Amino acid sequence: MHRKVYRLLLSLLLPVVFGTGMRYVMDVFEAWDLLGVMSIAFLFFVPFGMGFLLVWVAAYEQSQRRDFAVIMPWASLAIFLGVTISLRLEGWACWLMAFPLFMLASSLGGLTGRGMRRRNHERKNIHVSLLLLLPVFISPIEQWIGNIPGRYKAYTYIDIQAPKNRIWPLVTRVSDINAEENKAGITRWLLFPQPVRAELDKEGTGGFRKAVFTGGLVFDETVEDYRHQEFMRFTIKANPYDIPSTTMDEHIVIGGKFFDVLNGTYDLEQVNDSTCRLHLYSNFKLSTTFNWYASIWAGWIMEDIQDNILQVIRRRAEGPL
């Protein structure tokens, strides 16, 4: 009985050691552009190796159960999550966004380990070693290819039962947003900074707008095109060096190496005599080798931020004078 418990614990913890070691190695060599955490090598092949290793070390009877090979690697991932957060190797937001991909990859690794053990009772450890070293082999290739820039758009709108002259002042300048007004969804769940206020020095092209968020996050915005009570387009610039390290993880910091917001646009449309439709859309840039996955999360995040601001404007515009 004790031997089975020991074997199970070993199969759970050894992948955590492997994953944590890989995270350290990736972090050290990232500064030399040899390896990288923001890579398919880390996001897919490290959890793949963790799942494979768990099944390879587990008792043979357990390793041949499909449910064990698929689900049990998630337990190691959960421990890995706790270890990397406690050691401040990763932030909460990064982990939550990566976890679905980690779960899929670790399950595929578990199923691969299950198949290899079935075909090969006498373990060929050299094959295992090469498989576990795939992240180290693949990451330099990704670094050599380089990140692939991609531009994306987040579009939101809201209908407001109020006249334009009531809505527009709430668009150009947003007074302090209190906790009760903040109705953020996914960004609150990810512990992202929340909007506080927006200030504009003058209405018109060339105006300077400052959007302030919690945690010391500030966007400097310059109005590029302006039509009173109709349209306002502005560039957005965030200086990543001015953002406290405790506010956002370095891999998802706005204005950083991998993610940046380029511009935003408010468009106010008269729908009928009593209703206006306020459109808000932004363009953002991603520079990773897995934009196909990162763009899903980035789009949700940007749309949640925008929708939250639009709801604040609607409640204020439709509220008492």
The residue behind tokens 């520079």 is: 287
Task: Write down the pTM of the prediction.
Answer: 0.84
Closest CA to 139 of 292, 35, 284: 35
State residue 128's pLDDT score: 74
Task: Quote the pLDDT of residue 293.
Answer: 92
**What pLDDT shows up at residue 321?**
65
Tell me how far apart the alpha carbons of residues 62 and 66 are, in angstroms, rounded to a whole number. 9
Strand partners, 184: none
CB atoms within 10 A of CB 203: 15
- Classify each residue of 268-284 as buried b or exposed e, where b means 16 or more C-beta atoms within 10 Å of its C-beta: beeeeeeebebbbbbbb
Domains, the chain, ordered by start = 2-145 (no CATH), 148-318 (3.30.530.20)
Among 293, 25, 288, 294, smallest CA distance to 145 is for 288
pLDDT of residue 70: 96
Tell me which residues of the chain have a pLDDT lower than 50.
Answer: none
Please tell me the distance from the alpha carbon of residue 273 to that of residue 270, in angstroms, as a whole number. Answer: 8
For 91-119, the pLDDT digits (tens) are 788 888 899 999 999 999 999 999 888 77
Q: CA-CA distance, 171 to 177, in Å (whole number)?
A: 13
